[in-house]
Structure 1
Amino acid sequence: MPNLKIPCGALLAVALAACAQPPAAPSPSPAPSPAPAPGGTCQADAARFAVGQAYTEALAQEARARASATRVRAIRPGQAVTLEFDGGRLNLQLDAAGRVTAARCG
């Protein structure tokens, strides 16, 4: 067998490389948090001043603005409405006489 002279530094480098851990895989980025619904800041309490008043477009717009809602919907007795939740919508419930009976967001 031939006599090979290998420098100690080379042997040490090879030994350390064999023991080294592979680089850690990059951690997956966290899932983005769901975006809030547009205009999800409706605050029905601020629109409750309208309860008992006759519904008008001007009243609806003032209630919408005070509630920080992006839209307003008048719901009359017996009227079919969609049930999806919209955090930016103010719903004004009306009675048969056209007076506001409730103000709710959604």
Structure 2
Amino acid sequence: MRHLIPLLFLAACASTQDPPRGPSLPDTCGAGDYSYLVGQPARALERVLIMEELRIIRPQTMVTMDYRAGRINFKISDQDIITDVTCG
């Protein structure tokens, strides 16, 4: 029990803040223009004319790790909701 008390004090000192995020990448593909789609159903993409290169990433979809500055990535959740729009 005597050795447990210092561990409790250390646990109380642990940070509860979110970890810092890396530097944000520049919007090289115009993804910001489509940020209004985040939170909408994936079928909302059917009503948008996108002339740039794009990639739709669903859960369990295998994607390449290559980075293309002009490509727009739409990330779709299990619930078929657009969760993120990024370049790459």
Q: TM-score normalised by the shorter chain: which range applies? A: 0.5 to 0.7
1:78 aligns with 2:60: yes
Residue 105 of structure 1 corresponds to 87
Q: Which of structures 1 and 2 has the larger relative contact order (alpha carbons within 8 angstroms, sep 6+)?
A: 2
Residue 55 of structure 1 corresponds to 42
What TM-score, normalized to structure 2? 0.59
**Taking every aligned residue pair, what percent have the same amino acid on both sides?**
30
Q: 1:84 is aligned with what amino acid?
A: D
What TM-score, normalized to structure 1? 0.50
Q: Between Structure 1 and Structure 2, how many residues are aligned? A: 61
Q: 2:35 is aligned with what amino acid?
A: R
Mark the runs of 5 or more structure 1 residues left unpaired by the alignment. 1-40
Q: Distance in 2 between matches of 1:73 and 1:55?
A: 13
Q: Distance in 1 between matches of 2:39 and 2:54?
A: 17
Task: After TM superposition, give the deviation of residue 45 of structure 1 in Å.
Answer: 1.4
- In our comparison, the structure showing a higher alpha carbon Rg is 1
